[in-house]
Amino acid sequence: MAQQKSSNSRNNPVRTARNASNRPLGFYLLLGAITAVGIGGLAYAALKSGDAATVADAPIPSGPGSAAARGYMLGDSSAPVQIIQFADFECPSCARFTTITEPDVRSRIIDAGLANLIYFDLPLPQHLNSMAASNAAACADDQGKFWEMHDQIYARQQEWSTEATKNPRGPLRAAAQAVGLDMNAWDDCFQSWKHRGRIEANAAEAGRRGVGSTPTFFIGGKMYPGAITYDEMKAAVDGARAAAGAAAATGSGAGQ
């Protein structure tokens, strides 16, 4: 899994900036905002987080006038259980989960109506192209195709990742074309960083919940760090459904 590195690690912000010295000023401003608002809190939270249950319901804004945290839902909004996922598009462990485990999760849990899934993008600062991927996916969401773009981005991770290129726009644009987006609208959105506030707020929400690595899942109020297996996720969903049913039965009994 991808680990958030603290300020005392060898991959500190100064070194990160040096490795990205050929990037435009706008990139630095955006990355700085993410680091200060969202990922900075994440580094602190990573030192404190464990596997204990965590409950965090209300999203928080990243600053005055900015957007609130808002993930991308897959499945029925009225499903009895909610799976919340925090993931980095450039995280190899996230890509493996998406391509290997998630198809079963979608067909046997999400499509079956047992739970829905809400994806929060969490671009980690050591992954220099992850912000661009989050931007690309948010722009696809404008056209109702976030999940199609999500799948393309992970499937093509080796084409646009930091190790592959210093300019991820081309490969990400190819992914957008493969999804069948209106490319003029996507280009305008991508170049303007229209959804910067949403991306920042999602990162801040990860820090507030104590997320220390990607992927991390929340199911039934409990945190599950790492790319858990299908069986582990199904067991967590079943446990959350049982707990919700027991709570409902107790409440009904108390009202009689």
For residue 9, pLDDT beyond 80: no
Tell me what pLDDT residue 2 has. 62
Q: 202 vs 109, 177, 205, 209, 211, CA distance in Å? A: 24, 26, 5, 11, 11
Under 8 Å between Cβ of 26 and 193: yes
Length of the chain: 256
Question: Two tokens at 85?
Answer: 């996922």
* Separation of alpha carbons 256 and 166, rounded Å: 65
Question: Two tokens at 28?
Answer: 């630095």
For 202-214, what is each residue's pLDDT tens digit? Answer: 999 999 999 999 9
**pLDDT above 90 coverage of the chain, percent:** 68
Tell me what pLDDT residue 1 has. 62
Enclosing H/E stretch for 111: none
Is the dihedral angle over the CA atoms 125, 96, 102, 81 positive or is it negative? negative
For residue 154, pLDDT beyond 70: yes
* Separation of alpha carbons 28 and 190, rounded Å: 16
Q: Choose between 55 and 208: higher pLDDT.
A: 208
For residue 133, pLDDT beyond 80: yes
Average pLDDT, the chain: 80
Q: Please, how many CA atoms are within 13 Å of residue 215, restricted to the half-sphere of its CB? A: 24
**DSSP per position, 193-245:** TTTHHHHHHHHHHHHHHT--EESEEEETTEEEES---HHHHHHHHHHHHHHHH
What is the maximal distance between C-alpha atoms in the chain?
A: 68
Residues pairing with 86 in the sheet: 120, 216
Domains of the chain: 2-255 (3.40.30.10)
For residue 78, pLDDT beyond 60: yes
What is the residue type of 247? A
